[in-house]
Structure 1
């Protein structure tokens, strides 16, 4: 079975226990205003243009079939509306143009992942499937996980939980640990920040807990959005109400994805970066309300 990925990253140590290979699938139903992987939103491959890396060589102008690249006064103009996504321009091998996302088979993914099997065995690691939202490509994800388990791999998915309950139950058989995003407690604010309320998400979280699945609650904290007492209390309450939530991970906002927005022709929401004191305050407030262990990512 084939699907679309935008990265396969080896030797990851922050995507679950041990040394892991993380497979990033393209496509996500949510549109979080703070997303640091905007290249994951659409399921199909996209063209990224880094204007600051362009040396105006003009090779892409010659190769482009649709005339979306041009040079004007020694400046590279890219008309994204004309782009037919043939990706011929990326064959110039310059650093300014990049195809993000490619089709790959589940067999090829497992072959790549199995290259580091010795490291997984010695560290308690394995495969983590992230995104985007991995459940967005459900059949592909299921195929990957079945093959991973057949090869004796420890499996994790990082999910926002926005899918049907049937799919959550079906996928859970092949997942050892869920990294479950908990973005906002208030349903109306969740819809404002992500495009959907959190009712389906919370129901799926409860379903996983009732099935006895191990869960790490991952909580992005975004200044000016969800850095509120009510949300901190909500994180603590939901964690304490579910015995199978192993611990909480606080993920402070960072701006590492800023350049990606411009390269995709997207507008980035300007968000204030938290300082170290902010992070300590958030950690202390959540720790004060829960019996669970709280870690700062």
Structure 2
């Protein structure tokens, strides 16, 4: 039986699709974005990390394994108890990561279980996956949360470790299938937020009928402790979060498209 490598399941999420949701985080990602806020999601294998707890002036060290293998049925057992909440709020289940499409058989099996029980499904993806995998899950996915980071092929490869032509190919596949899609744009100061990049993203989105909303996701420092626990360098240590005025100016660049735009999703 196909098992998935899961590193977290969070209930009562309100930022990963409509309504109140359960978000299932799958471990493993083909990208290595320098701003990644889930570094524990990158490797497709369980990992041990050290935790340090301070209490009464003393430090206590412990180890934790991130990632465990679960069947689709085991994941669904955790999901199904929340069906009344999904029904009441218009919510459902979101598969995130990492990159959930790196585990296509497990993802497909779990999506099918949700669909069989009338649960709304969303897949949060970086778009870097085989065309065939998107075709495989399309019939069982109600909503795609699709990242667009950098339009320049050179910059995309420099900052994520992978080219972006596959991502565009898959976005146009969603358009051909009229698959409801929310575009997510991570705003990283000095990397993704320049006007040239945002105007290029906007020009791609303008003609797309499948795009129902654009979410601008501002950079934050909340992943810093994760990098420390995993003994990984945090390259963006000195970046400052955006001010409200800066975010308002960035959002205004999208005023001329007929698609709702939000800050933070």
> Alpha-carbon deviations, 1:216-269, whole Å to 9, x = none?
000001001111111111222122121110010000011111111111111111
5+ residue gaps, structure 1, are: 58-93
TM-score between both structures, scaled by the size of structure 2: 0.94
Q: Which residue of the other structure, out of 197, 202, 217, is the alignment partner of 1:231?
A: 197
Instruction: Report how many aligned residue pairs link the two structures.
Output: 260
Instruction: Confirm whether residue 100 of structure 1 aligns to residue 101 of structure 2.
Output: no
> Alpha-carbon deviations, 1:85-139, whole Å to 9, x = none?
xxxxxxxxx7742221111111011110011100111111111000000001111
Whether contact under 8 Å (1:18, 1:120) holds in the other structure is yes
When residues 56 and 4 of structure 1 are mapped into structure 2, their CA distance, relative to the original with a 3 A threshold, is farther
Instruction: Confirm whether residue 135 of structure 1 aligns to residue 136 of structure 2.
Output: no
In the aligned structure 1, how far is the partner of 2:113 from the partner of 2:23? Answer: 15
Query: Cα distance, 1:275 vs. partner?
Result: 2.1
Instruction: Confirm whether residue 253 of structure 1 aligns to residue 219 of structure 2.
Output: yes
* Structure ID, larger Rg: 1
5+ residue gaps, structure 2, are: none
Q: Which residue of the other structure, out of 175, 181, 191, is the alignment partner of 2:147?
A: 181
Q: Which residue of the other structure, out of 283, 288, 293, is the alignment partner of 2:251?
A: 283
CA RMSD of aligned residues (A): 1.7
Aligned counterpart, 2:32: 31
Q: Which residue of the other structure, out of 162, 181, 189, is the alignment partner of 2:128?
A: 162
Question: Stretches of 4+ moved more than 4 A in 1?
Answer: 52-57
Query: Cα distance, 1:171 vs. partner?
Result: 1.0
Higher helix share: 1
Aligned counterpart, 1:47: 48
Whether contact under 8 Å (1:237, 1:289) holds in the other structure is no
